[in-house]
Chain A
């Protein structure tokens, strides 16, 4: 088991319930869609997985690490094993595309040679090799999303989490993103995609966990789900 949530609830003050009694377990190599309408609790769930938020109740595990009790150092180590594609990209605006991707390798202590070797390769995977010297504000939405994916996969994490990866992208860019995620999954990486985009859910085959008003209302392998 790579990720496990035990009876997790998250209530934002004063009484806004984001998640309620969530329990689930993810196996290594799984492709998981977390689906639900806006406000269903998808982003809160992701924030709990990477320790950005702490649950009001319950426990979040990454392997044997209890994420919600982890100290700063342990949390850094956990985050280094998870690649996240944030809904708002969260790219470092003062760094070029190349440096944004290289930053992750620098964080984990990779050598300069490894950085020089791997960063262009990964930029090539997301078709951004010609944008290496460009700053995030000079990129289109699709390019930012692809750069965020490049950053998430550069260090070959055990898990990649993509929060609303289609965002405001057009259908071609969305298809491209999904194809990249599928390719990464084929290499054995656990992928968690949070989305409300039916097209993405249709394209990504795998487990589908549906959230409604902070609760899991279905958890299945079928793709012919319905939004609650």
Chain B
């Protein structure tokens, strides 16, 4: 049995080496497939980061009248936690002084903003609460509660101003997820079709050999086993070839993407998921190679 396995592997390796052109074409197509699927995986990471970024940007800012004391605002926070214990993600108090600091930090050196601040005076800035929740639908509820429970304390909330942006953002997130899922499924389907047909073409020229092997007494496994091994070798080499391109590409792309989305570090994301990516690449390509060769070789085993 061990001898049979050793011979099947030996024949598979010999087949891979002897059909250089067919092997090169198959490996090239499979490497492209590996790159496509890996790219899709990283795109998932990027879109998740975009979603997280958008979600972080969302929330309600509740502005209080200038004379409202910190203690009164703390009571509002407590009431919120009692009323919405599971919904609240974060409630963050911003004092007028902090608001001023942040304003200066964000717009320091910008003449227009500095002049506006001079004209309005530092006292123009109000104490506020930044509220974020776990589910989008709860913003409306919290906004309504605050306005009805503390009308005398609250100067204004910006929920209505942000509502359209929030709705659009969630619609965008939904579409990103939906389309990336469709693109992913279509890509995987295309990859399987292309690889299968490439392998079938590569084996087509060997169909008479397979038939001869059968006619001289080789069992099905002994005849097609080497081709399955060959398929696995295609996958392994495609995995290595794809990574020769993939890793430098990810490394190079990482700072470029950080310019677009500072919170997302592609290289760090890859490092955190490298084992997962490698398993998808290696497992996918080797299994795809094996299954494709198995199916293609099977057509010629009917003798």
Which B residues lie within 8 Å of A72 (CB)? 219-220
Question: CB < 8 Å: which of A76, A90, A112 contacts B212?
Answer: A90
Listed stretches A101-109, A195-203, A215-223; interface member: A101-109
Number of A-B contacts (CB under 8 A): 53
Selected contact of B215 from candidates A73, A84, A109, CB within 8 Å: A84
Given A52-B303, A94-B18: A107 and B209 interface contact (C-beta under 8 Å):
no
* Interfacial chain A residues near B212, Cβ < 8 Å: 90-92
A151 contacts which of B7, B216, B218, B220 (Cβ < 8 Å)? Answer: B216
Chain B contributes a number of interface residues (CB within 8 A of A) equal to 21
> B3 touching A104 by the CB < 8 A rule?
no
Q: Is B15 an interface residue (CB 8 A)?
A: yes
Max count, chain B CB within 10 A of own CB: residue among A84, A94, A104: A94
**Chain B residues near A73 (CB-CB < 8 A):** 219
A92 touches B213 (CB 8 A): yes
Contact residue among A93, A106, A111 (Cβ-Cβ distance under 8 Å from B209): A93
* A30 CA to B286 CA, complexed, in Å: 51
In the bound complex, residues from chain A placing their C-beta under 8 Å from that of B213 are: 92, 103, 107
Chain A residues whose C-beta falls within 8 Å of the C-beta of B14 in the assembled complex: 94
Interchain CB contact under 8 A, A107 and B216: yes
With beta carbons under 8 angstroms apart, the residue of A104, A109, A112 that contacts B216 is A104
Question: A76 to B209, Cβ gap below 8 A?
Answer: no
- B217 contacts partner chain A, Cβ-Cβ < 8 Å: yes
How far in angstroms is the closest Cβ of chain B from A21? 26
Shortest Cβ gap from B16 to chain A (Å): 11
Whether a CB of chain B sits under 8 angstroms from the CB of A33 is no
Q: Are B209 and A108 in contact (CB under 8 A)?
A: no
Query: By the criterion of a CB under 8 Å from any partner CB, how many residues of chain A are at the interface?
Result: 24
| B296 smallest CB distance to A (angstroms) | 17
**A80 proximity list for chain B (CB < 8 A):** 217
A91 to B214 Cα, complex, angstroms: 12
Query: Is the CB of A50 closer than 8 A to any CB of chain B?
Result: yes
**A109 touches which of B4, B19, B214, B220 (Cβ 8 Å):** B4
Say whether A90 contacts B215, CB under 8 Å.
yes
Does B204 count as interface, using CB distance less than 8 angstroms? Answer: no
Is there an interface contact between A84 and B7, defined as CB atoms closer than 8 Å?
no
Known contacts A107-B222, A109-B3, A111-B3; A50/B215 CB under 8 A:
yes
Chain A residues in contact with chain B, CB under 8 A? 50, 52, 72-73, 76-77, 79-80, 84, 86, 90-94, 103-104, 106-109, 111-112, 151
The 9 closest A-B pairs by CB, nearest first: A80-B217, A79-B217, A90-B212, A76-B219, A107-B218, A107-B217, A106-B7, A94-B18, A72-B220
Please give 11 more A-B residue pairs, beta carbons under 8 A apart, in addition to A80-B217, A84-B216: A52-B215, A76-B220, A79-B216, A91-B212, A92-B212, A94-B15, A94-B18, A107-B219, A107-B222, A108-B217, A151-B216
